[in-house]
Amino acid sequence: MFYSTQSIVIHSIMIKVLVNGFGTIGKRVAEAVQKQEDMRLYGISDVSKGPEMETLLSPKGELHKVDVYASNKEGAEKLRKDNVDIKGTIEEHSDEIDIVVDSTPSGVDKSNKENIYKPNNLKAVFQGGAPDDIAEVKFNADANYQEANGENYVKVVSCNTTSLSRTMNTLEENFGVDEVVANLVRRGGDIPQDGRGPINSIIPVTDVPSHHGPDVKAVMPELDIKTLAVKVPVTYGHVHMVNAELEQDVNEEEIIEAFEKNPRINLLEAEKGFDSTSKVHEMMRDLGRKRSDMQETGVWKETITVEDGTCYWIHMVHQEPIVTPDTIDALSSLLEVERQPRSRDKTNTA
């Protein structure tokens, strides 16, 4: 009896999450939601069936027992034609959903907000590709977790911005940051994006300074940060070269210690052979991480240098999974659910 009562109590605080848009971010967030003790993956939704849905809903896929919904009526028709057994549309089930993670393509997210979430009183977490005006609050779990409390909509900042916010916030909290110059070397595309380039070319972002600086300021308004960016022919990881003027006199050991204490920062040791993005990729493969994902920001330990009051380092960002833990955090922040701090990290990096 006691057991059953307790089970009811637990059930009553389970957050029912719908993941709308089943791509690079959606599939990772859906799997992560399934692993949270206080969340239930209500379902996934989309407007068509792609190769990722094909794999993950197949009997060998991690999500093969998950209910599938259509984002809208047109989507329902398409999905049925593709022989996907859907349970209905988001609208038809909106009363049973506590919150939506919207990981649909840029542009679609905005129309979803106006046509689905708003009329049906659904809270939603949007992703970095969404237009800035989609939500008043931009979100990074390290920098401004509390700010999303009770909001209806929030936008998790992009992968590059997430990695910068994590490292900057760590330094800001520990030593204070005066001024930052960060120059970004971005991957051309993800592994399956084989229609993208460049091949054997470097593409400058001619919008100077780049949008990444203001994006970080969206979650750390006091920070003075300027960024430039280029795109290069790699598929695993962006790399950032950072110069930061700190408010306090600190040495390298103190900075390493501060980074080490942040569970979402990985200190990479070039000396031990992890001296490139592809060596780190292989480390993740050897660790058996699903999809060889690295959710943490990877800072090369040897590059952390303090000289004449300036702190330098180089870090990498695995662009595909890095926002997964922050998206999970955004869900609990919007719903004001009390959680053990950092408890989600165990799930996401295990």
Which residues contact its own copies by CB under 8 A? 181, 183, 185, 198-204, 206, 208-209, 226, 228-230, 232-237, 239, 241-243, 270, 275-279, 281, 300, 302-305, 307, 310, 312-314, 316
101 forms beta bridges with 19, 125
Tracing tokens 């060596």 back to the chain, one arrives at: 279
Q: How far is the CB of 90 from its own copies (least distance, A)?
A: 38
The residue among 83 and 206 lying less far from its own copies, judged by its C-beta, is: 206
Minimum distance from CB of 305 to its own copies (Å)? 4
- Rounded to a whole number of angstroms, the minimum distance from the CB of residue 162 to its own copies is 18
In the complex, minimum distance from the CB of residue 51 to its own copies, in angstroms, rounded to a whole number: 21
Query: For its own copies, which is the closer residue by CB, 110 or 226?
Result: 226
Q: Which residues contact 316 (CB under 8 A, 6 or more apart)?
A: 237, 238, 239, 240, 268, 277, 280, 297, 298, 300
Q: Is 33 helix (H, G, I), strand (E, B) or coil?
A: helix
Total length of the chain = 350
Q: What angle do CA 276, 253, 228 make, to 5 degrees?
A: 50
8-state DSSP, 105: P
User: Known catalytic residue: 159?
Assistant: yes
Who's near 52: CB < 8 A, 6+ residues apart?
22, 23, 27
Compute the distance between CA of residue 56 and CA of residue 54 in angstroms, rounded to an integer: 6
Active-site entry in 17, 97, 159, 250: 159
Active site amino acids: 159
